[in-house]
Structure 1
C-alpha cells in the first residue's frame, strides 16, 4: 500500500507466482527467485508461466548500489518475547506474539484446505495488505530484482542485511541508544489503512457506530420527556465547565513553558559548563521530581473535580516523559561528542610525533620497542587492528560516552596511553594507532548522527529552540534526531478527525450522564442515608452489573478518542508519518502482548528508558527489568487514582502487579497455543 507522501512508484507487469524466495540486498533491493515447490503445490498441476526451470543461486544477484556495511550495532534487544519485524512496513509489524497464534494465521484456520487455497476475496485482501515495490525481470528466467524506493524500506532492508551477517558470524550485536524503528504507516482504524477498510469485520465497525447513534437518540428522547430538553439535568457537563476552566488552561500553559528548563540544561551541558555524567543527570532528575511534585500539589490545592485533575496529571506525565527522553538521549550524546573531540585531539597529537624509521637490531631492544613500560603489547594490538580493518563490520565501541581513557580497557585507551607515554613508535605502529582512532571516531560520528540521515540534525546541531518546540508537539514520547515525515497536511483529514473527536466526547458525555452517573449517585445517597456496610454490600452486585457495560463502552471510546483521533490530528498537523500508535490489542492472548500493543508511545518510552536502562545501568536481568517496568507503571497508575479520589486504596496497583503471574500462566503449556481461550481470559 502506498502511503501519502511516499515517492511515486511505477507499476510493472504482474508476477503470477504464489511464492518468492531470495536474499536481502543493500540499497533497498532484494534478489528473488520463484519458489518452484510452492508454485507446483498451489497450481494443482497447472504449469505457471513463471515456474522456475533452471536458475542459479539467488546469492548471485548483484547489488547495483554497492553499499558497504559499516556498522553491525543496529539491532534491537528483545523485550522478553517481543521483537520487531524489520523486513516489512505493514501496519502493526511488531511481533508481540507468534504469528502462528494470530487468529486466521496460516496453519491456524479451521479448514486446512482453505488455509492452503484461500478464496479469491481472501487472496485479494492479502494482496492489498502489502507495500508497493518495483519487481524487475532479469535476463534469466525465474529470477527477479525487487527494488523499494521508499527511504524507510531501504533503511530496513539495509538493517536486515546487517542482521543476517551478524547472525552468521555468531556474535550478538550491541544495542544502540537510538535503536527504535519508526516507519511511514497508518493506524489500524484509519480509513486510509487497507487493514481496516478491507477487513472482513468492517461491517461490525459500522454497526458499532450505528449503535452509539441509537444510544444518543434514545437518551435525548428520554431527557426530552423527563426534563423538557435533550440534555436533561446534565450534571457531568456542569461539573466539567463550572469550576476553574481558565485556571486549568493557564496551568497547562505553565507546564508547557516549564519543559524548556530541560532544553536550557542540555544547552549548558553541550557548552561544557556542566558534565552530564558527573552532575547533569542529577540536576535533571531533581528538576523532574520538582516538576511532578508541583503539579500534584497544585491539583490538590485547587481541589479540582476529577475531570480537571486527570487531564492535568496525564498531560503533565506526558510532558515529564518527553523531558526525560530528550534529556537523557542528548546527555548521552554529549558524552559521545566529548569523547570524539578527545580522540580527535589524540589523533592530532599522534600525527605530530616523529616515527622511528628503523627499529633496534637486538631482540631485547625490539621487545622494549614492542612492549614498553605500560604493559601494552603493540604487536598483538596491530594484529587485532589488521583483522578489524579487513572485516567490513566495525566492532562497536563499548565506551561510547566515556572520556576517562586512563581507567578504560579498550584498544583506544591503549593507544592513548602509548601516545601519552612518549615511547618510540615505528611507522607501522603509527598507522595502526591512526586506524584505531579513526575507526572509533567514525563510529562515534555515526552515533551522533542517529536517525538524521542527512546530518543536518546531528548532535549538537539538533539543540535548537525550534527543534525542541516541534518535539513537544509531536505525538511521540521518545526523542529522536529525526522522524519519518510526510510532505503536506491533508486538511480534510484534520477536519474529519476533529469532528470525530468532538463526536466521541459527546457520546461519552451522554453515556456517563445516562448510565454511570445514576449508579454513582445511588451509592452516595446510600452512604449519606447512614446505611451500614453490610446493607450497602447487598446492593453492590446490582450497582456493578448496571455500570459494567457502560464502563466498558467508555473505556473503548476513551482509547479510540486518544489513540485514533487526537494523536492522528497531532500527527497530521506536525507532518508526523508514523501512525503506529497501537497494535491489535483486542486480539491479545497474553497480558504482556496487551501491555505492548494498546499504547505504543508509552511502551516505547518504557522499553528504552526503563527496561533497557535497568539492564545497562543497574545490570538487571531481563526478568528483573520486566518486573521493574511493570512496577513503575503500576505505581504511576495508582498515583493517578490517589490524586483523583484523594485516597490511596491500592486496588489498581495490586491488580496491575497480578498481570505478572498471568503472563507466566499464559506462557504455560496449558494456555500457550490456546488462542481463543487466551483471548477470553484477557478480556
Structure 2
C-alpha cells in the first residue's frame, strides 16, 4: 500500500492536545467559528495592536509564557530539580520543631518498649530452659535462682550463703533443693496476677497491646479496668488542645519576643559586662514563662495524653507521676516526676549496669543515658548541637553528691541547691 500524503490532522494523533487544537485553528479556520466557549483553548489570543500601551504588551507576554508553561506532554513527567530533603540542614524546607520533637519522642518510646519486650522475654526464655533442665534425670546441681540482675555482689553473697549452709547442715536433701529451685523458676515464669504464664504471652495481640499501653516496661500481665469511659477520653483530648493553645500563646507572647530583643541587643554591644547584664536580664524574664511552659507540657504528657491512652486501653495503673513538687533533692525529683522513664532506667539501665559496675558507676551510666536522650530532644528543637542539655543533666551528679553529704542530707533548711538547680534546669 502506498503511503498516504502528509496530513496534519492524522499526524496530530501523537501530538499534545493543545498543539492539535492549534492545528485546527490554523489550517481549518472555519472550524474555529463553530466552537463554543467551553471548548479547548487554542493557546492563541487576540493580537495586540502595535500602538497599545507597554503595560498591555507586558500582560500579553506574561499570559503567553504562562500558557506555554501549562502545556504538558502526553506522558506525565516528573519535575526533578536539585532539591534537598527535610532533614538536611542545608535545605530551605524543614519540619517544624514540634513535629521533630514529636517524631523523636515517639521513636525513643518505641525503641525503649521494644528493648524491654525483647530483654524480658529473653530472660523468661532462659528461665524456662533452666526449669526444663530440672526434669532430666540425674541433673547436676544448678545455682540457686536469684532476682534479676545477678550482680557479682549478689552472686558472691549467694555462693557464700550456700557454703555456710553446706558447712552447717550437711543433711539437706538434694531433692528438696531441686524442688525449691523449681518453685522459684515457676514463680518467675508466672505473672504477678497469676493468669498468664510464659510462653502464653508470645502473641501478636499481646505485643500490640503493649505498644499502646502507657508504660515502657514489659510485664506478662497488667491490671485492667472493666470498661472505657469515652466521656473521659473526650475531656482529656479537649484539654490537650487547650494546653497546646496556651503553650503557643506563651511562647509567642512571652518567650520569642524576649529572645529576639536580646539577640538584637547582643549584636550591637561589644562590652562583655553589658552582654552579661543582658543575659542575666533575659534569664530573669524567661524564668516564669519557662515555668508555665514546663507545667503545661507536663500536664499534656503525663495527665492528659497518657491518661487518655490508659482509658482507651483500659490500663488500670494511672500513676504516671508522684508528688515531685515536694521533692527535697534531685534524686527524689528524678524518681517522682516521670515514673514510666524512671522505671525503665532503673530496670534496664541501672540494674543492668550493677552486673559489672558499682552503685556510683551504675548511677553515672544511668544519668549518661538520660542526658543523651535530653540532648537529642534539644537538638531537634534548636537544630544545633550545643551540649547545653547534656551538660545540665550531667551536672546533677555533683549536685546529688552535695545533697547526699552529711552537711546537707536530712536538712531541708540548708538544701538550697535543689531549688537553684531546678530553676536552672527549666532553662534547658
The counterpart of 2:98, out of the listed 307, 319, 331, is: 307
Work out the CA distance in 2 between the residues paired with 1:433 and 1:547.
69
User: What is aligned with 2:202?
Assistant: 463
Work out the CA distance in 1 between the residues paired with 2:87 and 2:175.
58
Deviation of residue 547 (structure 1)? 1.9
Work out the CA distance in 2 between the residues paired with 1:681 and 1:440.
46
Work out the CA distance in 2 between the residues paired with 1:541 and 1:401.
47
Work out the CA distance in 2 between the residues paired with 1:538 and 1:459.
63
* TM-score of the superposed pair, with normalisation by structure 1: 0.42
The counterpart of 2:392, out of the listed 655, 660, 664, is: 655
Q: Secondary structure at the match of 1:514?
A: helix
Work out the CA distance in 1 between the residues paired with 2:104 and 2:397.
26
Regions of 4+ moved over 3 Å: 297-303, 398-402, 431-439, 523-527, 529-538
Deviation of residue 304 (structure 1)? 2.2
User: What is aligned with 2:23?
Assistant: none
Question: Residues 246-395 of structure 1: matches in 2 within 5 Å?
Answer: 303-344=94-135, 346-347=136-137
User: What is aligned with 2:303?
Assistant: 564
Distance 1:515 1:440, change over 3 A: same
The counterpart of 2:224, out of the listed 485, 491, 494, is: 485
Matched, 1:673 2:410: yes
- Unaligned segments of structure 1, at least 5 residues: 1-296, 351-375, 386-394, 403-408, 411-428
Deviation of residue 578 (structure 1)? 1.1
Deviation of residue 560 (structure 1)? 1.4
* TM-score of the superposed pair, with normalisation by structure 2: 0.66
Work out the CA distance in 1 between the residues paired with 2:102 and 2:327.
28
Deviation of residue 626 (structure 1)? 1.2
User: What is aligned with 1:397?
Assistant: 145
Matched, 1:554 2:302: no
User: What is aligned with 2:186?
Assistant: 445
Q: Is the 8 A contact 2:403 2:417 kept in 1?
A: no
Work out the CA distance in 2 between the residues paired with 1:398 and 1:511.
52
Q: Secondary structure at the match of 1:479?
A: coil
Q: CA RMSD in A?
A: 3.2
Distance 1:328 1:561, change over 3 A: same
Distance 1:499 1:642, change over 3 A: closer
Distance 1:488 1:574, change over 3 A: same
Deviations 1:272-329 (CA, angstroms, capped at 9, x unpaired):
xxxxxxxxxxxxxxxxxxxxxxxxx958687422211111111111111111111100
Deviation of residue 583 (structure 1)? 1.0
**Higher mean Cα deviation, 602-611 or 665-674?**
665-674
User: What is aligned with 1:576?
Assistant: 315
Work out the CA distance in 2 between the residues paired with 1:678 and 1:540.
26
Q: Is the 8 A contact 2:149 2:351 kept in 1?
A: no
Matched, 1:645 2:378: no
Deviation of residue 646 (structure 1)? 3.2
Q: Secondary structure at the match of 1:449?
A: coil
Work out the CA distance in 2 between the residues paired with 1:544 and 1:399.
48
User: What is aligned with 2:330?
Assistant: 591
Distance 1:299 1:447, change over 3 A: farther
Deviation of residue 541 (structure 1)? 2.6
Distance 1:306 1:399, change over 3 A: closer
Q: Is the 8 A contact 1:322 1:478 kept in 2?
A: yes
Work out the CA distance in 2 between the residues paired with 1:397 and 1:596.
29
Q: Secondary structure at the match of 2:415?
A: helix
Deviations 1:148-196 (CA, angstroms, capped at 9, x unpaired):
xxxxxxxxxxxxxxxxxxxxxxxxxxxxxxxxxxxxxxxxxxxxxxxxx
Q: Is the 8 A contact 1:589 1:666 kept in 2?
A: no
Deviation of residue 546 (structure 1)? 2.3
Deviation of residue 589 (structure 1)? 0.6
Q: Secondary structure at the match of 2:113?
A: helix
How many residues end up aligned between the 2 structures? 314
- Unaligned segments of structure 2, at least 5 residues: 1-85, 151-157, 160-170, 423-428
Q: Is the 8 A contact 2:217 2:344 kept in 1?
A: yes
Question: Residues 162-201 of structure 1: matches in 2 within 5 Å?
Answer: none
Work out the CA distance in 2 between the residues paired with 1:334 and 1:452.
20
